[in-house]
Structure 1
């Protein structure tokens, strides 16, 4: 491309400021989304691909859960010679600091000594096969070491974890984002989980199915082929299988586990393959819409570039040279907007990380191979964006252009089709974003059958001697209405008890509470006439219907020859996610002297919630000698439970807004182009007496018809997509017809507004100017 051609292109851009602004802004903002979402999708699809032995590592699971009892790992290794090694893991927050001293919270990953031999997490100091062998050994991450020990070498230093002394034996690189293993501050020798559960029994008993285990297959063997044999043995050895709660067992390849496991029942990080596919589809749609918009904008300026092309043709320039020149211009525009989009991506990275709960680290993503891919990407989209306008503009007849009659020869059917496609995408996205936002709000605000307003929950770190006096202490605080002790709450979780009665499997959640608990959560009891004692249960209506207790004595079989009287029936309330129906619940008295897990405080209506909560926490800290404890409002727990849906709503809404903006710009460009095609027709109509209103109706009718066609196609697409998405919720909104209508009207109004300015300008133009060249 010659310097003179560059100067002509620069002059064209400076004279057509609106075209330049819309092209640069539209393309660069679109590419910002493409870069951020594209790298996120790449990162998610490459989870755990960096492990050297990844092809031989399997996660053991049943159904969509990874929970097993600790002895199961040894059992599998003993029965399967194909197993070279195994690593059990358990992720949990812990408290650091000496008893009575300052405490901080940290994230710990408990793992077997084989952890660093199986996985390829990089050790900076220490032998992978030895660092976790000593009891109470700890491998700290680089960032944690820098935070806690500054410039000192932490090897050999001590960490007080949950009031137990551990020794640092190694330093590792931080756990990266692209792995299913949770980011932890340090890795702890697995046997230290006994300090959390209060005894060695947690390692020896298989009845607590709460632990995750990976198996390393010996080279040349086939561990998954042993699944059937192990399943038959499990049915004889382990209660969860013996009692028929599952008939499933599988070994999932490491790289597949991230997308096959349900996070609700796992201690590893997981994601939805469907959601990643949606994001990938969004990336493609954004790119396609941005390209269509750029093509339409460029074609809309064909009149200006056509005269330039005609002059060059008359001076002997070939069509091939013209096409090459226009493609180079497209490459320059695409390169500039890509660089601008990359700059904006860096600016938006923190917000994007928060929105998708990820960490992109854009600066470290651009490896030589990815830079090469980026260059090919820019080259490819510049060709796609520039080829159609180049072919059209270079194909103009120079004689007709000089005469001013070229507009009659240029057909715009393909451009109309592209605009209709943009309308379809925009209407479908608008409908989906409305419904996703409605479902998100519905989940957060749904009446779950218990009170959650002003309810503050704290972990109990007091002994039984302190508890009675502490309740009086709390009730003396202004704004505190009620105080309760319990093991579990409807929002924060409870114990699970599973059993079989007459061949039927039951899985109960159990709360152990005092009498004030019912008042705080406003749970209604229908008495059966049985006096409540430590040996009776209250059950929810769903459990009562399932158990069919004797109607006279209200005696029910709770399995394992445990017959208990039912003292009352409580109203059904949602103690699970609203993605699932209400389950079976039983509630028992908290016996005097038994330690509760939770301290629950009801703050009076009208009191300042956060100031009162601060007073409660200060009082608690003074009373317990500064011991660390967790605290939260029940309403916040419920809100956080649906964070995924809220973030999905936000990302879809942001994409919808971007699509609408691009659509308006595209429609504006199209209106400019089509109105130029109709200049002669408008002039003739005005000469024959047509009014401005009639001209406006004629021009706007095209937009109305295109939106109507798009609406007919977009509605079933959006309906199908939302119906499938809502299948994942037990409680969900209705797909109301008015949302479809509103989305169509919004797009129609925006379309007409973007067209009307050009239409009005054309309707008021002097008809003589339109037909003087004829």
Structure 2
């Protein structure tokens, strides 16, 4: 009997080739999307679980409360971890690691780029158990002049020769290669291309105290049997003694908590300053939700087409009933047929994913791999195939099984009303999902365009930025700036401490008229800044251009004046390690990404006041020959600083990088929207084919009685148009609510215009009509005599 069921299943599949192909194609896309989601989530949740003691390694997270608000950071002050280790019982070890930074190094006269350089304590390798190919883990970083290279970086710099003992020049200092590390796993937030001993930073006593300066990722390894809650209980008294006794007088406070290393990579957004490589949990939810919708659409698509063929299957099942088949055997026969289709679709889905995986990883900024999870893929697919086959076969055969054998053998041409209604509802569901995703694509794209083109309060166009290294003195770039001003293509040049628009450093200041200090952003620049960026001084004067005359002079923005409540800001004093005098007020401009509102700002022309130096040369140009200009700038740079790498970029590109994660979301939603639309359309196409075949006799009779082709097409199309309209009515309010919530993440945001929803609905309707009309036209133009003979 089992062989008969298997043969019957194959016969049904081959007999209905078009429906089978449509089913397999739609289902394979759903399986590929679901498999991609499975691998993606599995990879994202695997981060940092390979560390042997990962359950005992915790990162210190700080929270600073001021009269301006609360901010949290994964980067804590230099002495936090060692002081905690020495004064709080239950901590076995600590290790500090700086954030990753790009770097330029010289090997001989050759210049190389290192994308991911970190400084770390000398116990970095024994603490985390990263594998060393060459070198002793306990001594490889024991001196300030030691550097460890990853295997990839060592090969990039030295080829196949042994790099141990060779020297590299970094920031004008020689470092000795003391070890080669295996390339770190991809699933860690502590990736690196090179590690320099933290003693390199420790050579200077500046800015390594509890009051600010150097901050870094700080990890504690807790003793066995010690819970993080036990350690956290000691934090209030510990921090009161270390910093809060002093800070409380200004209305500030500093607190800390512990975060297990497993929870670092997936951010919930509660930590404002964190690793740039971390992925937001919301992005996981977005990708997951959309992918599950794709799979759901594929299942719905399958149910629509499979159950639409119920009448043809009635005869087969009726014959089996007459020959004594039990109802469970009939369910099994349907299960075999569905199982063959789903298994075939799964194999096609694996092939599709393997072919498109490199593109998906690049396009969606993911790192999914099938080779590393073969066993997991097999188990996952077996579960999916079995569950879906059971569900689909049960729901598609339960009504047929209840039909009497004689009734099942009758030749009927009209599907049950309930079946029609169910299929139309499922079509509405499919197009509701499509419309929802289309609205999301339009809104996300509009918001991204809004962010990239919004007026910032300064002119970002036609500005190039040249970056120096951290060890430049304050006056070293002055001569280079004067060289630039001799070029005909250069309109203006200005020196600054940081790139404008990406966020600025913040310090504690006491404003005149206030008793407490306030954290305020600061920009260190020169008198030419305002000309270079077209920022307007609306009250007072500019810097004189003489550092000695302007050593304690500052300009402030309108937001600071409003915050301080000053009616006449000129001449007001601001205290920070001495008195600073306000000489002017500038218009508000967005020195942070547009996810934040404009904040108070202090502009100073004496960076040495706070231990800063000029690190960015901003160049406003007036030429279309950018390549020639860059060549001239590079030549001037090499003449002045032959041993310092030349780094240059467009300011608008740097500002656009602030919104890369949102552009990635746009790509994700756009890509999966196309998949959803494709699945919905092939399902609609298959249902249209089946419906027109079922109504062949009706169409023939109408044409014999004088119905025109247009009238027949209208008759066939109107049902689908109505159900797409219902889909729009369902999707529009859901999309409006979801997009409103998403836009709340931005301080500056676009509006939800009615035409966005109308466009999504019209686009879905047009696509549905084009899909349906092809089959409607074929049916309407068919010879009515052939149609009646067919019946």
TM-score (norm 2): 0.87
Q: Is the contact between residue 549 and residue 555 of structure 1 (CA under 8 Å) also seen in structure 2?
A: no
Q: Which residue of 2 aligns with 1:431?
A: 439
Choose which of 647, 667, 674 in structure 1 pairs with 2:664.
647
Separation (CA, whole Å) in 2 of partners of 1:448 and 1:518: 14
Q: Is the contact between residue 322 and residue 394 of structure 1 (CA under 8 Å) also seen in structure 2?
A: yes
Q: Which residue of 1 aligns with 2:290?
A: 282
Deviation at 1:563, TM superposition (A): 3.9
Deviation at 1:467, TM superposition (A): 4.2
Q: How does 1:78-477 map to 2 (within 5 A)?
A: 78-90=86-98, 91-97=100-106, 101-181=110-190, 183-194=191-202, 199-204=204-209, 206-208=211-213, 210-238=215-243, 242=248, 243-246=250-253, 248-258=255-265, 259-260=267-268, 265-267=273-275, 269-302=277-310, 305-309=313-317, 320-366=328-374, 368-391=375-398, 399-400=406-407, 403-405=410-412, 407-409=414-416, 411-412=418-419, 413-460=421-468, 467-477=477-487
| Equivalent pairs, count | 767
Deviation at 1:472, TM superposition (A): 4.5
Alignment gaps of 5+ in structure 1: none
Q: Which residue of 1 aligns with 2:45?
A: 45
Separation (CA, whole Å) in 2 of partners of 1:130 and 1:612: 48
Q: Is the contact between residue 439 and residue 733 of structure 1 (CA under 8 Å) also seen in structure 2?
A: yes
Separation (CA, whole Å) in 2 of partners of 1:531 and 1:444: 31
Deviation at 1:333, TM superposition (A): 2.8
Q: Is the contact between residue 314 and residue 409 of structure 2 (CA under 8 Å) also seen in structure 1?
A: no
Separation (CA, whole Å) in 2 of partners of 1:478 and 1:16: 74
Separation (CA, whole Å) in 2 of partners of 1:671 and 1:438: 35
Instruction: Please state if 1:578 is matched with 2:587.
Output: no
Instruction: Please state if 1:516 is matched with 2:534.
Output: no
Deviation track 1:374-421 (CA, whole Å, cap 9, x = no partner) reads 333333334444444455666666655654216445741332332222
SS in 2 for 1:214: strand
SS in 2 for 1:729: coil
Alpha-carbon spacing, 1:637–1:19, altered in 2? closer, same or farther (3 Å): same
SS in 2 for 1:97: strand
Choose which of 467, 477, 482 in structure 1 pairs with 2:492.
482
Alignment gaps of 5+ in structure 2: 64-71
Separation (CA, whole Å) in 1 of partners of 2:645 and 2:574: 37
Separation (CA, whole Å) in 1 of partners of 2:115 and 2:760: 47
Q: Is the contact between residue 68 and residue 206 of structure 1 (CA under 8 Å) also seen in structure 2?
A: no
SS in 2 for 1:201: coil
Greater CA drift, 390-399 or 25-34? 390-399
Separation (CA, whole Å) in 1 of partners of 2:298 and 2:328: 26
Alpha-carbon spacing, 1:117–1:26, altered in 2? closer, same or farther (3 Å): same
Separation (CA, whole Å) in 1 of partners of 2:543 and 2:49: 60
Deviation track 1:600-651 (CA, whole Å, cap 9, x = no partner) reads 21110x4223442243224423442152132211000111110110110011
Alpha-carbon spacing, 1:568–1:705, altered in 2? closer, same or farther (3 Å): same
Greater CA drift, 575-584 or 77-86? 77-86
Q: Is the contact between residue 407 and residue 676 of structure 1 (CA under 8 Å) also seen in structure 2?
A: no
Q: Is the contact between residue 122 and residue 138 of structure 2 (CA under 8 Å) also seen in structure 1?
A: yes
Alpha-carbon spacing, 1:157–1:264, altered in 2? closer, same or farther (3 Å): farther
Separation (CA, whole Å) in 2 of partners of 1:531 and 1:123: 53
Separation (CA, whole Å) in 2 of partners of 1:516 and 1:529: 13
Separation (CA, whole Å) in 1 of partners of 2:479 and 2:58: 52
Deviation at 1:289, TM superposition (A): 0.8
TM-score (norm 1): 0.89
